[in-house]
Chain A
Amino acid sequence: MEEAVTKPTKKGGGRLCCICNKRRAALKRPKTLEQICRECFYEVFEEEIHRVIVDNQLFKSGERIAIGASGGKDSTVLACVLAELNRRHNYGLDLFLLSVDEGITGYRDDSLETVKRNEVQYGLPLKIVSYKDLYGWTMDEIVKMIGLKNNCTFCGVFRRQALDRGASLLKVDKVATGHNADDIAETVLLNILRGDIARLSRCTSIVTGEDGPIPRCKPFKYTYEKEIVMYAYFKRLDYFSTECIYSPNAYRGFAREFIKDLERIRPRAILDIIKSGEDFRISTSTKMPEQGTCERCGYISSQKWCKACVLLEGLNRGLPKMGIGRSSRGLNNDPKKDKDMKQRNGTKSIENKQCGSLDF
């Protein structure tokens, strides 16, 4: 499909916005390809998110909500929009930004600076929890201990839990994350490709972990990444983007590229994939992994100890390789469980963004 360029219809002016019919169209909306003006774009972008929040009852008045803030574009736009909607529609939420400091020299310094500026720009208080607070180790210290080779294991496991652990430390009711429609569509595809039926069945839920200590919600579930970038661009939002320096090989998966190609020929494909994911009905005869909690920290885990606790135990005992690899010998000693580990390992709904993009 060719990129329709905004063609001038009359001398001097351009085509009019097809929503207000007053102002000149400034952009082609990625989701619908409608040509609209900037003001109408802000309006539809924000109101769509408002509808998602209301229709899915994501928040209740008086709740204390942490916005997972990494300084990246998704969480920055989420902070900006939630702050605005909370004011405009009187949600009555106690909003604040929650950042995790992994303790990676040079990496977090810059992105934390961004989050600190966001604190002022959107008038939202900022809380930073560090790996040191949560785990007793910074990422730099871990890398020093284990070398660069296995850091992805730690990076992934620790980061998946950090936000929840930080949130429970700060006694919040719910965490809002910046997962957008592209992320969710990608997750649906990846779970099909990997054969992960358990995650496939829950990856399109807009709220996850309702039975756990802290539910998470995704107000951007139906928001296109391109529109988030567009919003940030036109509003000149201050965000930060970089790749995690400890994962030099992180590559954009085939799935991500595939979704971008699809979007190019049919923008609605992203929403259609999410719809498919919502409509999948998992056969009742399929065995689902039962979820328990970690005996040590209480985090959701299918094993006796959660992965983070196993890794931490290894670090603290000076055996950093413990818990890395196909099965974690020694601690979760149940052979039958060990065999199932491949299937069961994941504890939280997936984040398909790799180590590289430190966006929650």
Chain B
Amino acid sequence: MACNSSTCQSNSGCYKREEEPISSKSSDSNQQSLCVKCKVNEPVSGTSDDGRFCRECFRSNLYGKFKLAVTSNAMITPSDNLLVAFSGGPSSRVVLQFVHEMQQRAQKNFDASKDRSLPVFGVGVTFIDESAYHSVPSCEIDKAIEDIRSIISNLAPPAKQLHVVPIESVFSLDSLDGRERLKTLVDSVSDATGKEDLLLYLRMLALQKVASENGYNRLVLGLCTSRIACHVITATVKGQGYSLPADIQYVDSRWEIPVVLPLRDCLAQELNMLCHLDGLKTLEFSNVPCSGINGLVSSFVKLLQEENPSRECTIVRTAGKLTPFHFNRIPELNDSNVPLATRRRQKRFNLKPSESISSESFCPLCFSPLSKSDLLSSSNIESCQNYDILDAACCSSCRFQIFPKDPSSMEHFLSVLPQPLLARAQNCSNGNRSSLRKQIQDCLLSESEDET
């Protein structure tokens, strides 16, 4: 029950409930008007903590959150080769900066050490050019790529390779008309939200492809608390409550190249602030605003965040209590290059098997783990034709918002789908069938039950 009246003091679920600790904190800092950490410098205003920290402490606090996420989840080890996904926005700019600083420190240690036993992890950067779908003027894209090159070359050594990759690269190399094919594919989805989400899935596919083809073993994304909070709500609204926890952990290794989110505990506001304070250059595209469900959710969350500055954290904290999946961890480290301390730390922080869900079946489009009810509903559909295979293996959300409703357009849809997704569908479908089979095995009479 939400008794939202301003006079209400019931603590049984009022909106106001969580605000009180914050207001008491800010009244403290008003008295001293010095940074709460170093107690020497004047605090900067405009940060989410409402001016509690000075510039230096604000910065080190933010870097501290990044570092804690990295170390406690064993995201980066000396032998790793990281690919940072760089979109040009503040979050990816900060994650690039922090990864770079961490690499520099490692390099310093390496240079100082006698035996030079620990290598320094490598860092590369990729920019996915989505101009094929969002009709950005080509001069704007060229300018952006120019800027990215200069940002990266201005980072002190070790040097970082930049991979600029068009999103249509997800189609195999022989298809010269990648741009056309991408447009056709996305346009064949009628739902506005479905279109946006499909593009997201294709972007991940492209990122995975760059990472895999260039020998990277970690993909670093700049997703921050604010974006994750939005994802929690959008996934809930799309009926993806089962798979939601898979997407919001520090580590997601269901992909060929494990994905890590070291800025999971940083707010967008803080990242913007840091870019502003440190003069980190970010890029702005004349971007198409989000429409549909995603746009609605982000303005909703923004409103809530304005009403209460801890709202985004609360949302992510709540969703963090949902059970993660077995792949939400870095695969066990057995590498002798990895210091023992790191391995021990990983053991301590990593999920215990009993606290995670093991899932073998994934939606071929969005790659979210499928729940039992998803699997059961798909088993009703007898798969004899190609499109049935895909349809049957999909999660209910993709089936609704991405798949064509009538079978006649399905063939066309499949013909323009990138090969990796189709292959995934085949695999998933087989996987789903076998996991279903396992559940009913004791009731099957003959061995030759596959009447295909």
Which residues of A are in contact with B by a Cβ distance under 8 Å?
Answer: 148-153, 155-157, 160, 188-197, 200, 247-251, 253-255, 258, 261-262, 265-266, 268-269, 271-273, 275-286, 307, 324-326, 341-342, 345-346, 350-355
Contact = CB atoms under 8 A, between A and B. Distances in A.
Interface centre among B7, B15, B296, B400 (most CB of A within 10 A): B7
A227 B359 CA distance: 38
A56 B135 CA distance: 51
Which residue, B235, B296, B304, has most C-beta atoms of chain A within 10 A? B296
Pick the 4 closest A-B CB pairs, nearest first.
Answer: A276-B241, A272-B239, A152-B8, A279-B241
Interface string B317-328: 111011110000
Interface in B360-418: 371, 373, 396-397, 400
Given A193-B315, A262-B293, A275-B239, 20 more contacts: A156-B1, A193-B311, A194-B18, A247-B5, A251-B5, A269-B237, A271-B239, A272-B236, A272-B238, A279-B242, A280-B241, A282-B321, A282-B322, A283-B323, A284-B354, A284-B355, A285-B355, A307-B12, A354-B5, A355-B3
24 contacts: A152-B10, A153-B10, A155-B3, A156-B10, A156-B12, A189-B233, A190-B2, A193-B304, A194-B18, A196-B318, A248-B5, A258-B300, A262-B296, A272-B238, A275-B396, A276-B242, A280-B322, A282-B321, A285-B355, A325-B9, A345-B11, A351-B1, A352-B2, A354-B4
Contacts of A156: 1, 3, 8, 10, 12
Contact of B321 (A193, A197, A254): A197
Q: Is the interface of B mostly helix, strand, loop or mixed?
A: helix
A124 B3 CA distance: 32
Contacts of B319: 192
Contacts of B436: none
Nearest to B313: A195
A189 B237 CA distance: 9
A150 B315 contact: no
Interface string B206-247: 000000000000000000000000001101111111101100
Interface centre among B6, B8, B314 (most CB of A within 10 A): B8
Nearest to A326: B11
Contacts of B15: 194, 253
B9 A153 contact: yes
Contacts of B307: 254
B158 interface: no
Contacts of A324: 9-10
B107 interface: no
B5 A249 contact: yes
Contact of A342 (B2, B9, B17, B400): B17
B244 A276 contact: yes
A249 B7 contact: yes
A53 to B, nearest CB: 21
B323 A250 contact: no
B193 interface: yes
Contact of A268 (B232, B355, B400): B400
Contacts of B397: 272
A272 B321 contact: no
Contacts of A148: 7
Interface of B: 1-13, 15, 17-18, 193, 232-233, 235-242, 244-245, 292-293, 296, 300, 303-304, 307, 311, 314-315, 317-319, 321-324, 354-355, 357, 371, 373, 396-397, 400
B321 A286 contact: yes
Contacts of A200: 318
Contacts of A273: 236-237, 239
B249 to A, nearest CB: 11
B3 A354 contact: yes
A326 B11 CA distance: 6
B318 A192 contact: yes
Contact of B322 (A266, A281, A345): A281
Interface-centre pick from B9, B355, B373 (highest chain A CB count, 10 A): B9
B7 A275 contact: no
B323 A284 contact: yes
B241 to A, nearest CB: 3
Contacts of A189: 233, 236
Contacts of B296: 258, 261-262, 265
A39 to B, nearest CB: 27
A151 B7 CA distance: 8
Contacts of B244: 276, 280
Contacts of B241: 275-280
Contacts of A346: 12-13
Contacts of B318: 191-197, 200
A279 B304 CA distance: 25
B246 to A, nearest CB: 11
Nearest to B400: A268
Nearest to A186: B2
B240 A276 contact: yes
Given A192-B236, A194-B18, A354 B2 contact: yes
Contacts of B311: 193
Contacts of A278: 241
B371 A279 contact: yes
Contact of A192 (B2, B6, B232, B373): B232
A4 to B, nearest CB: 14
B236 A249 contact: no
A276 B239 contact: yes
A266 B7 contact: no
A200 B318 CA distance: 9
Contacts of B314: 193-195
A283 B321 contact: yes
B21 to A, nearest CB: 10
A192 B304 CA distance: 12
A276 B374 CA distance: 12
A342 B11 contact: yes
A277 B235 CA distance: 11
